[in-house]
Structure 1
Amino acid sequence: LTLIRFNQGGTALSWAPSSVSQSPDLLVTGFEDGVIRLLELFNHERLKTAELRLQQVFKPHSAPVTAVAFKGNGEILATGSSDCTVFFFLVGRKYCPMGFVHVPGPVQALDWSAHSHSENRLLVLCQSGHVVELQSPDPNAEVPTRTFLLPDLPRRSFRFKSIKSQIKREQELARRQTVKEKKEEEEELPPLFIPDPPSPLCCGFYSRPGQFWLSMGGFDAGFLYHCEFSENQEEDPNQRQDKPFDFVPITDADNDPVCSITFSSNRKLLLCGMSSGSIRIYPLQPGDHDLSSMRAFWALSVH
């Protein structure tokens, strides 16, 4: 359709919801220098051509923008960066800054809670394995214009603790119980192991209020992990050790982690972007928050 060039490379993008955009084709783009640009896709019907027109520019971050996400009703835009901050903007004809918060690690992804949740919250997924849940800032609150820092925004924290070696050990015990071979029962079980440094967090998404799925890279690849926020939130986020309460194995993914996840509009298809460049499409049963129907899939190598 069209092409536009910038001096800095693009690192994140999202279409603005049509319900809040003055134009039905507004693209929010993040760049490696921390800049956000709003680009309108303008169609010349008579000439049958299109062009991207710059609508607004602002620089909320000091490092690459890694994620942009609109709140469900489109009222607020959240941006995340490898500078370990999340910035909020009030959406309108002009996007106005509301403030920012610090998080424990470089931001990998952002996910707003669904309409079905009782409260509007933002799930912040950090590359370091930290997950932070932030309450949506009040659009009517006074903006801290001096620093834009939002120090009192309610939050919950989670820090992933590896359970893959435990899973492998339990699988081996189950296998030995099935075959009942004495010689194998005498062999040493796979050792318990916690990777150091921790495995990187690749992506994730909400399942239910307070619960979420994570995909990890490195040693912990090969599974999706179902996690939840602990009731004990007094512990230092950097000292937490939170184990997932459930998991789903991913076929042939020990060395090919899921690095991006999205759903079809009716949430009956789960689309996974793999580290190898392939895309997998998993059909799901309606309302399957536990991913119990995530079995067969289509795969296509595109990158």
Structure 2
Amino acid sequence: MLDEVLLAEPRGFCAGVDRAIEIVERAIAKFGAPIYVRHEIVHNTYVVNDLKAKGAIFIEDLAEVPPGATLVFSAHGVSQAVRREAQERGFSIFDATCPLVTKVHVEVAKLHKEGYDFIMIGHKGHPEVEGTMGQLTEGIYLVEDVADVARVQPVQTDKLAVVTQTTLSVDDAAEILAAVKRRFPSVREPKQQDICYATQNRQDAVKVLAPQVDVLIVVGSPTSSNSNRLRELGERLGASAYMVDQPEDLKPEWLDGKRRVGLTAGASAPEILVTQVIARLKALGAVSVRKMDGVEETVQFPLPKGLK
């Protein structure tokens, strides 16, 4: 019999997502609709639909943007080629790239000048990976797992550095990094790990939560890397784990014979969805909701000039 909902802490929006959404909303308020956004601003269906209703148009190809329009780069970051094309087309540009992703881009540019090549740990096809790898035209190699590390063939290994997608599983990334270091013992690591504080904190919270619950629900969209990692982590820790993009996705049979449900949300999922999922769990029999203790996040990132 369903009894209690345990809420992970922290969960949901991080500072980079907050900032990205605010950039789009402020641009619409200041310059009027439509505002064009390259790629989904963050990987969440609710957020994207909400911004569409307010006047944002999401595009993948810059050819879809009319001359003189205002363009926002998504939180995942863009390649140098996209940046150049946007400037050449004369758009008014606001960059909503998460500052923690920008930090990786800056590191790549700096070490490239010093003659380094790179191994990037990340998921092929993810926009953040495309953006980071697109900081260079050559000399950056993607590895997705330990097996890839054995296969990768850098042109030179005297000066090799490693960078990471910011939304990976902390444990998976550590395992892949260990394999990189075994194969290339002199590889240079970032001073601070690239995986972002919010990804780390949300995964740590699931590590505390999962052993205490019978089933784990993660609020997040299928395209959200960090949300997928939370679900996988819950499963790895022995909980039945499911991801829901909206409250209606929650299937009553997931709760059959379960007493305690854990609930968390990826960094791009708004709290309103968590509230709606709680209401659905209560309708399905949950009696109480208890919030776990967890790290309090106080990180804030400044807005770009011209939108403050």
More helix by share: 2
More strand by share: 1
Question: Does TM, normalized by the shorter one, top 0.5?
Answer: no
Q: Which structure is richer in relative contact order (CA contacts within 8 A, separation 6 or more)?
A: 2
Output the TM-score relative to the length of structure 1. 0.27
Larger Cα Rg: Structure 1 or Structure 2? 1
